Amino acid sequence: MIEIDAWVVFLLLFLTPVVSSVPIALAYKSKGWTEKLPVLSVLGIGVSVLASLYIFFTFPQELPECQFSYNWIPDLGINIVLITDYLSRFMGVVTAVIAFFIAIYGLDYMKGDYRPSWYWFFFNLFTASMLLVVYSDNLFLLFVGWEGLGAASWGLIGHWFRDDDDIAYVGKAGRKVGPLELSWPPSFGGWRAISTIRFGDVPMFFAIAAIWVLAGGNLNISQIDWESLFLGIGTAGTIILMLCLLMGLFTKSAQVPFSEWLMTAMTGPTTVSALLHSATMVAAGAFVFIKLTWYIEPWHLRGVPGLEGVEYVYLFVLFVGLISGLYGALVGSGMLERKVLLAASTMSSIGLMFAAAAASLWVGHFAVLVAFWYMAVHAFAKASLFLVAGHLIHATHSRFSCGGLEFAKRMKPALVVTVVATTFLVGMPPLTAYWVKSGMDEVMEHLLHDYHMVLPLLLLILTSLVYSAVMARFLSLNFIKGEKPEHEHLEGGGLMKLGYSLMVSVLLVLLFLIFTSKETAEFVEAGLAPVSFVVGLGALGAYLVAAKVPRLKALSKVPGTFFSDRMYLPFLNDYILPKIGFFAAHFVQNYGNRGIDGFFNTKVVPGLFRGISKGIRAVQTGYLKTYVKIVLGFVMLFLIFASLGLGVGLGLGGAGL
């Protein structure tokens, strides 16, 4: 009975958001209907919230009861397999609730937009695709949701495709560094996102295909015998397979050096940015890595002969995550654009999630829990900040940070939410993220004390301090020490205020869960440790200093240019790689294509046929005596070869006698 009910719930969970957005998509020519139907799209996501909560409270979370399978292509091992384990149950609620609150906010924010049908269809598809990724146990089914995220992100990031309003751009118009202009329109942002993600999706698809072959047609993450699979392909095979899989995860989660698409993705509507940075897309890569690690259980594979490849891969992910975390925090310290500052900090947080999950190789299951809970806390805090940023952009008609104390008095709900979201996120005691960050500190301390790995803990502490300063900088430049806005439009926005107020309140719920859940009991213990408390006080100090002095004039040349120009990483994406690509294209065109064309079309093959044709035409004289001579010639050749063959045969026969 539970299986029948389960599939009804799953259908409501995945299909309702998409089906509810179809009417507005079909009514795209009617302005009257497109102004009324967004409510239906929001209600569709509301149904997904109820379904995710029903799954959370009633569905089993232990294998095999938590796995629900429907045979799709059983001969190929491709089935619809969904799972309601610990990770999926929590993340499903996080995704649906965040999408619902953002959708409520969007009713105000997107009012009067020039193509609401496009926006709401892709917004709901975005949500449904992430839910499919979250609950999928089958890698092929997960990849279907993965590709849905990519397609929807292209539609949403480039939503304002006309490029007719500077407020939707990223960068400062006219600013050039060498040959590169550091200004990007919405249409370019959408193209860059999909092209970067595709760069990682291709090797990821091949990795999934390889797993299907190597695992005997089994693609279910929770059922694959990962140890046997890795032993079977050896160290080199493990490294190649996992790196191909990680390419998809790193590009989706914008880890170094694939981070640029995330910055220019801020050309899309703020509602898209909020969803993309909190519960979908960017979080998808980190979530899939956490999910894979949950079932690979690398801590059981460390030190096993033949499995050295797993250690190399997890060591690589550890440092990619930490370097991405520090890079994102430093870049955020130089940003003046509201959403780009938050985007850089998101990249930093996602990097720490990868690093914490990778540290599980040495620390164990606890590190995976740390990464996952940090993802949940970050999701609600960052979504709140993005929604506030959107309201500020509406209120000031500027994407750059501006606003002082007088402005803050007229934007009290936004101010309060910003204070709560930033302080609860940076890891200062005794607020929500402090307990999770304390667990992360403990994870890196284990690496120091048990394995003499100093760098991870140092990078984590440095990232945490810079990150705290970046969050305080966002608060100060928009509400305390910022320049006076040139325009102020403070009327309306009731649903915007409701959206980010509801969002930030969940941080209190998460704090309650940390203190009451048995899985997070060790977080509380870690938070009481002296080292964690000192790091937490350091984060508090960095926050207070940056709030008071958000811009240091003495260092303006460094954070004002090098960091705000994102350490010139845009050159890699916009100049160096295109140059390499065009060189390769010209080489193929000039030598490859011309060589093929010359061989088959103009030189070799045509020349061969031309020679044969000339030879045939030479004997086609039309005179009978010519043809008689040719026939007699062939007869003479036949007789010669026949006589030679006969002579050889007689000689061999005589030798045998």
For 123-136, write each residue's pLDDT tens digit: 999 999 999 999 99
Whether 556 and 492 map to the same domain: the answer is yes
pLDDT in tens, 351-378: 999 999 999 999 999 999 999 999 999 9
**Among the listed residues 398, 472, 465, the one whose alpha carbon sits nearest the alpha carbon of residue 166:** 398
Phi, psi (rounded to 5 degrees) for 486: -70, -30
Q: Are strands 180-184 and 170-177 parallel, antiparallel or unpaired?
A: antiparallel
Q: How far is CA 231 from CA 225, 236, 307, in A?
A: 10, 11, 6
- Residue 302 has a pLDDT of 93
Distance, CA of 604 to CA of 609 (rounded, Å)? 9
pLDDT score for 621:
67
CB atoms < 10 A from the CB of 36, how many? Answer: 13
Q: Does the pLDDT at position 1 exceed 50?
A: no
- The reported pLDDT for the residue numbered 177 is 82
More confident of the two residues 405 and 490: 405
Is 480 among the domain residues? yes
| Residue 605, both tokens | 């093959």
Count of domains forming the chain: 2
Domain co-membership, 554 together with 630: no
300 and 188 assigned to the same domain: yes
On whether residue 612 sits in a domain, the answer given is no
Give yes or no: residues 638 and 489 share one domain.
no
Please state, in angstroms and rounded to a whole number, the distance separating the CA atoms of residues 250 and 190.
18
Residue 310 has pLDDT above 60, yes or no: yes
Task: Please tell me whether residues 313 and 439 are part of one structural domain.
Answer: yes
Q: Is 245 within the bounds of a domain?
A: yes
- Name 623's bridge partners: none
Out of 551, 568, 585, a domain closes at 568
Predicted confidence at residue 419, as pLDDT, reads 97
Checking if the pLDDT of 629 tops 80, the result is no
Whether 230 shows a pLDDT value over 70: the answer reads: yes
Cα atoms found within 13 Å of the Cα of residue 30, Cβ hemisphere only: 11
Domain residues for the domain of 630 are: 624-657
Report whether pLDDT(627) > 90. no
CB atoms within 10 A of CB 59: 22
How would residue 657 be classed by pLDDT, with cut points 50, 70 and 90? Answer: very low
Task: Work out the pLDDT band at 476, boundaries 50, 70, 90.
Answer: very high
Do residues 85 and 60 touch, judged by C-beta distance below 8 A? no
Residue 46 resides in a domain: yes
532 and 637 share a domain? no
CA 392 – CA 607 distance, rounded (Å): 71
Q: Evaluate whether residue 14 is within a structural domain.
A: yes
Residue 342 lies in a domain: yes
The beta strands (E) that lie in 24-166 are given as: 67-73, 78-83
Question: What rounded mean pLDDT belongs to the chain?
Answer: 91
For residues 564 and 628, membership in a common domain is answered with no
Same-domain check for residues 242 and 349: yes
Question: Which amino acid, 507?
Answer: L
Looking at the structure, tell me whether residues 557 and 636 fall in a common domain.
Answer: no
Q: Please identify, among 568, 591, 611, the residue that sits at the C-terminal boundary of a domain.
A: 568
* Whether 419 and 515 share a structural domain: yes
Report the distance separating Cα 429 and Cα 532, nearest Å: 9
pLDDT band at 649 (very low <50, low <70, confident <90, very high): low
pLDDT, position 2 = 47
Give the pLDDT score at 569.
86
User: Residue 646: pLDDT band by 50, 70, 90 thresholds?
Assistant: low
- Pick the closest to residue 145 from 201, 89, 226 (CA basis): 201
Same domain, 105 and 210: yes
Domain assignment of residue 200, yes or no: yes
pLDDT in tens, 553-591: 655 555 457 888 888 888 888 888 778 878 887 888 777
Confidence of residue 73 (pLDDT cuts 50, 70, 90): confident
Task: Report pLDDT for 637.
Answer: 83
Please state the pTM of the whole predicted model: 0.89
Measured at the CA of 28, the angle between CA 23 and CA 33, to 5 degrees, comes to 65
- Please report the pLDDT score of residue 589 as a whole number: 77
Q: Classify strands 78-83 and 67-73 as parallel, antiparallel or unpaired.
A: antiparallel
Same domain, 644 and 496: no
Please give the average per-residue pLDDT across 386-404, as a whole number.
Answer: 94
Q: Is residue 227 part of a domain?
A: yes
Boundary-marking domain end, from 547, 568, 589: 568
